[in-house]
Amino acid sequence: MKKPIIILTLLLFLSIHTFSQTSGKLTVNFTTSTYSGSYSPKHILAVWITRSDGTFVKTLMAYTQTTKYRQYLNKWKTATSSSYSTVDAITGATLVSHNSLSCSWNCTDVSQVLQADGDYDVNIEFTESNASGKYAKITFSKGITPSSSYTNVTTSTNITGITIAWAPTNSAVDNIDYDLMYKIYPNPVSSLLFVSGSNIERVSVYDMQGKNILNTTENQINFSNFASGTYLIRIFSDKGIVLRTAIKK
């Protein structure tokens, strides 16, 4: 009888591990540049999330309101099965110049269902002509640990400065209005970063590898000696934990 019990216990553990669903926020930043396409610098662009097996989850950003030209974002078209889904996405018309862009994912799909923990891909695609353009794909792991690390699976010389930051949310503060109650500023920061909010007990700073590099009970953090990059700020209060992303210039 011991063998079936062991197998059943193992399967139960694996099912719990496999279907863990951590809520949180993924922030994506990147910069595009022209490749001198026929309409440059005008271009259309899409950013979307897929599972590790390529299954479409949700579009985060879509600057292509003219249906006629969406077809040239070939990878986005394929991922969405030609639906060009933009549920909850940042949307807009054709971009007239290249710049730095930012978007985020709240860990749900188009049906507002919280997704299981595991590996996901951030896909970025843009084109300046009536043909395939440039594409980048970045893999990250969604789980209980804050992280700013990622792997460039596919890169493009015209999609650069890619940074991502994964900040899991503590369930004790899921219903808090984060923007009103807990803030960090200025952001980006060059020297002093200020933290505001009610009943803050402690503030922790994590680097891009998820290493805890500073803990303080003060409401200001000196970033002067920190290297440029993305940092995760964990704010502990009597209501729970709130996470913020800070960028050091």
Report d(CA 22, CA 38) in Å as an integer.
44
Q: What does the pLDDT look like over 83-137, one tens digit per residue?
A: 999 999 999 999 999 988 999 999 999 988 889 899 999 999 999 999 999 999 9
pLDDT tens profile 58-89? 999 999 987 889 999 999 999 999 999 999 99
Is the Cβ–Cβ distance between 238 and 197 less than 8 Å? no
| 218 exposure class (CB count in 10 Å sphere: 0-12, 13-18, 19+) | exposed
Query: pLDDT, tens digit, for every residue of 29-63?
Result: 899 999 999 999 999 999 999 998 999 999 999 99
Q: Where is pLDDT greater, at 151 or 10?
A: 151
Residues 6+ apart with CB under 8 A from 214: 204, 205, 221
| Residue type at position 200 | I
pLDDT at res. 7: 44
Q: Which amino acid is at 30?
A: F
Please check the confidence at residue 145 and state whether its pLDDT lies above 60.
yes
Half-sphere exposure of 79 (CA within 13 A, CB side): 29
pTM value?
A: 0.66
Q: Is 59 within 8 Å of 86 (Cβ atoms)?
A: yes
